[in-house]
Amino acid sequence: MTSSKQFISKRQIFTSWIFVVFLFVAEKGFAQKATVIDSINYHRQESLNAVDSKVKDSLNLVLIENVKSLLRRKDFHKIDLSKIDPSLSVKRISKPYFGFISWSVLYPNTEGEDSVKYHTHILLREKRYHRLYNVKSNGKETPLAMKSFDISNWYGAIYYDAVPYKIKGDWHFMFLGWRELEDYRQAKIIESVSLKADSVVFGEPKSLLKLIPRGRELIEYPKNVRLSLKYDAETESIYYDDMLKVGASVSPSFSFNGYKFDKKQNMWIQHEDIDIKALE
């Protein structure tokens, strides 16, 4: 009888110990999630406030490692990303399992023009593979419409949306982004992106697109003008303000241009001067 009680007592102690360990591991996991996002926000704000370029670079390196750590998490699609600093552009898609975090770093120059570096980290996870792409730019390349770029020479932009589409069983994306230009100008960008095994191609080959043969559409406009470029899930179309030029003045014309993917032709077809609802 005594041995039975001792056995039960030991078993209860063992079970309780296992339970405590489970709670500790679970709490540690939750803490790590919060810590990564908190660290991202802290280093982003410190980087924005830093004046010295070397300090800014050091803070941004820590930020990059935290961003990669967040994207690598198996539960990335379940984490609440609404608490991430709004100066970081975050996109997440469930099918395919995809996400990116994109931002820029401004380096003020008291003796001349400010310089900007761009960063985009992209996740694509399929049954066959798990890919994480780390893309950065010094901002010196010009986003030419007729040129394709890859990780080695990416021109740099802040992306804020991505539209997935399939061609011959492989996932491709149309990225929507923004980039500051010279001479008090800026540009919204529509760009076809292909995620290869070991690289990223910004600007698809001509055969994949119709009426965007260069794989990139640049919509340039002055910094004091607002331009809308969005993807509408209801009509499955990308649309943007058509800009009206009168002399040196540029402003929205209150009409829209857009692109819709044709699954039969495997091409994005352009629509000009449209009513958004007409694309349904």
Note the pLDDT of residue 229. 92
* Low-confidence residues in the chain, pLDDT < 70: 1-34, 110-114, 138-139, 145-146, 205-214, 244-254, 275-280
- Residue 21: the pLDDT is 41
Q: How far apart are CA 150 and CA 215, in angstroms?
A: 13
- Measure the CA–CA gap between 15 and 9, rounded to whole angstroms: 10
Cα–Cα distance list, 274 to 221, 230, 236, 256 (Å)? 20, 14, 14, 5
What are the distances in angstroms from CA 176 to CA 3, 10, 82? 71, 61, 20
Give dist(CA 230, CA 241) in Å, integer: 10
Q: How do residues 178-191 score in pLDDT, each as one tens digit?
A: 998 877 788 899 98
Parallel, antiparallel, or unpaired: how do β-strands 158-167 and 170-180 relate?
Answer: antiparallel
Nearest to 40 by CA among 99, 84, 102: 84
**What pLDDT, on a 0 to 100 scale, did the predictor assign at position 45?**
96
Chain centre distance of CA 20? 39
pLDDT at 247: 58
